[in-house]
Structure 1
Amino acid sequence: MVICGQVTGSRYETKVVLTRPLSVDGDSDIDYRAPNLSQRITSLFKSVLPGSDLTRLKLPPLFNYPKSHLQCYGETVYCIGSDMLSRCNQADNSIERFTSVVAWSISTLRPALFGCAPYNPILGETHHVSRATLNVLLEQISHHPPVSALHATDEKQNIELIWCQHCVPNFHGAWVETEVQGKRQLKLLCRGETYEMNSPNLLIRLLPMPAVFWTGNVRIRCPENGLEAELRYGPKSSFLGLRGSHRSVKGKICETSTRKTLFELNGHWDRTVTMKHNDSGKQTVIYNAEEVLSGLKAPIVNDPQGVQSTESAAVWRELSMAIMSQDWEKAKQAKNAVEEKQRELLRERESKGATWVPQHFSVSYSKDGGWDCSPTQQWVPPAPIVVPLS
């Protein structure tokens, strides 16, 4: 489904293009992919040397699908079939809250398509969407290197999310592994608990058989309740995932102080994940992808006047429409127009000796700690774009 909202005013009219998230199987209700993508992407990387900076690799629109990375990050939080985030705050038992956080963390993993990538967000690009009482705001706080910040709050549930993500793709000849650096925080404010976690990496296998999947280790810890989880995504021992399930997840929940394992986790993030109590042997399903990732709906424009010019769905509207109609020449022109505008703004800042400052986040960087960000406002306001609940 494509939603084209109108931002109207006395002097301008802007189309906003929003599309439904990919299904758990990577399907879409729009066929926007160019033919022979596997051959095209393999051919593209033949001219790239191992160790090259892929963040500066300019992908033709043939390799894009119609949304920005900011939108994809936001969708992992606000596009969800059941409200797993609210459940994290509901249990009075600290262990139940922790397992709910683990299940919610698994729910943020979404499918990726081989040969198709979202747009690289421009500097200062934003994405602002609400789902019920959860308000989500993202901003691209750096372009080179690409760093995205997310702030989400739910005043009713007393929940806050703060993410700062820096993607570092590494080309190894037969595959590309994108390391997702940065810290993710989930704060249960009324409980006084902060859960810190990282993200798995995205692996794109070019040879011998093209594929793309999530891989690596994720650690979730909460200093206030003394619990932590260790999760591993993808096959543990196989050459580039040639054996085993690409979508498997295994792990454990243990006490931080004693390292005693309380629960063992096993399953697949696109199906179900079970938790086994180490003492009793009892097993329960803590995550069901069919309930969480089925029937996801596209956001809609609820307040046209409130949509900012920096909104992802507005910045890339012409390119998205051209890709969905498979007008590749128009798509090329639209993408070049956005990029040239950014080059003009950069030249203007350099001529004035000006430094770009994020609108919604304070940003810091250190070689040891990497990128970090803190929101400039306590609560994210309701957004002009909303996710339908029914």
Structure 2
Amino acid sequence: MGSPKKNESKGFFSAMTSGFSMFGTAMSRSVNGLLGYEGVEVINPEGGKEDAEEEAQRGRWRQEERDSYWKMMQKYIGSDVTSMVTLPVIIFEPMTMLQKMAELMEYSHLLDQADECEDPYLRLVYASSWAISVYFAYQRTWKPFNPILGETYEMVNHGGISFISEQVSHHPPMSAGHSENEHFTYDCTSKLKTKFLGNSVDVYPVGRTRVVLKRDGVVLDLVPPPTKVHNLIFGRTFVDSPGEMIMTNLTTGDKVVLYFQPCGWFGAGRYEVDGYVYSADEEPKIMMTGKWNEKMSYQPCDMEGEPLPGTELKEVWRVADVPKNDKYQYTHFAHKINSFDTAPKKLLASDSRLRPDRYALEKGDLSKAGTEKHSLEERQRAEKRAREEKGHQFTPRWFDPTDEITATPWGDLEIYRYNGKYTEHRALADTSGEEANANSVEFNPWQYGNVSAE
């Protein structure tokens, strides 16, 4: 096995990529085999008749719908379709992108463990496993609703954390999120960039995710891999995230680089993740291996990336039990996200749970969901016109724009910073006995005025 040490001519990241390529191949034949990862899933990445028939049986598309949609979408090939295309509600799931951000908190206990851990390299094992854990949820092929400008999502009653996210921009679509408990704070600014390729779409996570571990003040920065949604219209739809995930300890310079294997024919390599935790001197310290839909394990290694004698693989994370035959492939935690059980008292009227289109879809009323979705979009356009006529600008409530611009592998990103006002609001609201449910509070994200479509 080649050593993943620094390559003076190619630079650190090129050397790591080369090293991981060899490491990933070896690990998939050795460690993964020992762990029992021999099973494969029959998937044709290009799509085929059998896959198309199976997708139709799921109720996603009827043949005439596929044909009609394909004719409409052909003109957008090569374009960023993040917010420029109106999509049929039949392909949606009853969740918004703001709620999907909150799914990263399902295994937040891993960040608690990272904060409590004294070993700086094992700390990255816990933290990166937390970052990997959400990919089990991300494999869902249903599309979440785009948030309305000013829409929010709140979550409490999970692991002692509080979570708030807000749609801070409509063009381009941008969301900001903040979460914290006694062990960590999490801050994210997200701006998705897409490229429609016909029967697939590439999704580039133009975002910045920072985690601060409170005990030692350690700051972690996460750069996730891009995602590809295959067989959007023809064939069996599935999600793949080939590429590198890099988590850097900005305080010490240590980092972990994990390679997500691409899905090959018959599902070969799908789900597999392999990589190393590196010291600030770019020396491999711990190897990690597993599958993002199952579990992750780790083992100390030598300078050549080989397991240290006398050590063994230890499991650090395993996916929780999930409901069987769930229509939207939701986890138990995803159902909690939609539930008012995780909602705080005096829920904000802008909360995603209260969206009438999302709620109608959750209840199985596709016709009403489509009508409500159209109505919300028209009201959003009307509010924008009214605001522009007055020369006013939208101002986020819980996050402030900054002058900071950060470079990502897929483009520059304007950073929004949590302003602390939600913490103050929640402290006051929690003293109220007022509860919230879908019938008692009307969805109202409008900051300029609750205008109606003309």
Does TM, scored on the shorter chain, surpass 0.5?
A: yes
Do structure 1's residue 91 and structure 2's residue 129 form an aligned pair? Answer: no
Q: Choose the corresponding residue for 1:375, options 399, 418, 422.
A: 418
Paired residue for 2:250? 223
The SS at the match of 1:183 is: strand
Q: Choose the corresponding residue for 2:349, options 270, 289, 309.
A: 309
Q: Choose the corresponding residue for 1:270, options 267, 271, 293.
A: 293
The SS at the match of 1:371 is: strand
Paired residue for 1:290? 320
Are the equivalent residues in 2 in contact too, given 1:153–1:379 (CA < 8 A)?
no
| CA displacement at 1:91 relative to structure 2 | 1.4
Are the equivalent residues in 2 in contact too, given 1:76–1:110 (CA < 8 A)?
no
Structure 1's 107 and 266: CA in aligned 2 closer, same or farther, altered over 3 A? same
- Aligned counterparts of 1:90 and 1:115: Cα–Cα separation in 2: 36
- Map Cα deviations across residues 16-38 of structure 1 (whole Å, 9 max, x no partner): xxxxxxxxxxxxxxxxx972438
The SS at the match of 1:306 is: coil
| CA displacement at 1:139 relative to structure 2 | 0.6
| CA displacement at 1:188 relative to structure 2 | 1.0
Letter paired with 1:160: T
Letter paired with 1:190: R
Paired residue for 1:249? 273
- Aligned counterparts of 1:332 and 1:168: Cα–Cα separation in 2: 25
- Map Cα deviations across residues 24-54 of structure 1 (whole Å, 9 max, x no partner): xxxxxxxxx9724385457524432321231
| CA displacement at 1:99 relative to structure 2 | 1.6
Paired residue for 1:18? none
Do structure 1's residue 60 and structure 2's residue 88 form an aligned pair? Answer: yes
- Aligned counterparts of 1:285 and 1:247: Cα–Cα separation in 2: 16
Q: Choose the corresponding residue for 2:397, options 350, 354, 359.
A: 359
| CA displacement at 1:133 relative to structure 2 | 2.3
- Aligned counterparts of 1:251 and 1:42: Cα–Cα separation in 2: 42
Q: State which structure, 1 or 2, has the greater radius of gyration over its C-alpha atoms.
A: 2
Paired residue for 1:44? 69
Do structure 1's residue 134 and structure 2's residue 161 form an aligned pair? Answer: yes
Aligned-residue CA RMSD in angstroms? 3.0
Paired residue for 1:233? 260
- Aligned counterparts of 2:315 and 2:139: Cα–Cα separation in 1: 28
Letter paired with 2:270: H
Paired residue for 1:14? none
- Map Cα deviations across residues 215-235 of structure 1 (whole Å, 9 max, x no partner): 321110103233101112232
| CA displacement at 1:209 relative to structure 2 | 4.7
Are the equivalent residues in 1 in contact too, given 2:241–2:262 (CA < 8 A)?
no
TM-score by length of 2: 0.69
Which stretch of structure 1 is more off in the superposition, 226-235 or 283-292?
A: 283-292
Letter paired with 1:117: K
The SS at the match of 1:47 is: helix
| CA displacement at 1:355 relative to structure 2 | 0.7
- Aligned counterparts of 1:379 and 1:96: Cα–Cα separation in 2: 33
Letter paired with 2:292: W
Identity %: 22
Matches within 5 A, 1:167-186: 167-186=192-211
Size of the aligned set, in residue pairs, is: 345
Are the equivalent residues in 2 in contact too, given 1:214–1:246 (CA < 8 A)?
no
Q: Unmatched 5+ residue regions in structure 2?
A: 1-56, 303-307, 323-329, 437-454
Q: Which has the higher helix share?
A: 2
Structure 1's 208 and 133: CA in aligned 2 closer, same or farther, altered over 3 A? closer
Structure 1's 83 and 294: CA in aligned 2 closer, same or farther, altered over 3 A? farther
- Map Cα deviations across residues 123-178 of structure 1 (whole Å, 9 max, x no partner): 11111111242111101111121111111111x32x11011111111112232111
Q: Unmatched 5+ residue regions in structure 1?
A: 1-32
- Aligned counterparts of 2:343 and 2:369: Cα–Cα separation in 1: 28
- Aligned counterparts of 2:422 and 2:277: Cα–Cα separation in 1: 31
Q: Which has the higher contact order (CA 8 A, sep 6+)?
A: 1
Do structure 1's residue 202 and structure 2's residue 227 form an aligned pair? Answer: yes
Q: Which has the higher strand share?
A: 1
Structure 1's 94 and 53: CA in aligned 2 closer, same or farther, altered over 3 A? closer
Structure 1's 313 and 114: CA in aligned 2 closer, same or farther, altered over 3 A? closer
| CA displacement at 1:243 relative to structure 2 | 4.6
Which stretch of structure 1 is more off in the superposition, 278-287 or 124-133?
A: 278-287
Are the equivalent residues in 2 in contact too, given 1:263–1:277 (CA < 8 A)?
yes
The SS at the match of 2:252 is: coil
The SS at the match of 1:200 is: coil
TM-score by length of 1: 0.79
Structure 1's 354 and 70: CA in aligned 2 closer, same or farther, altered over 3 A? same
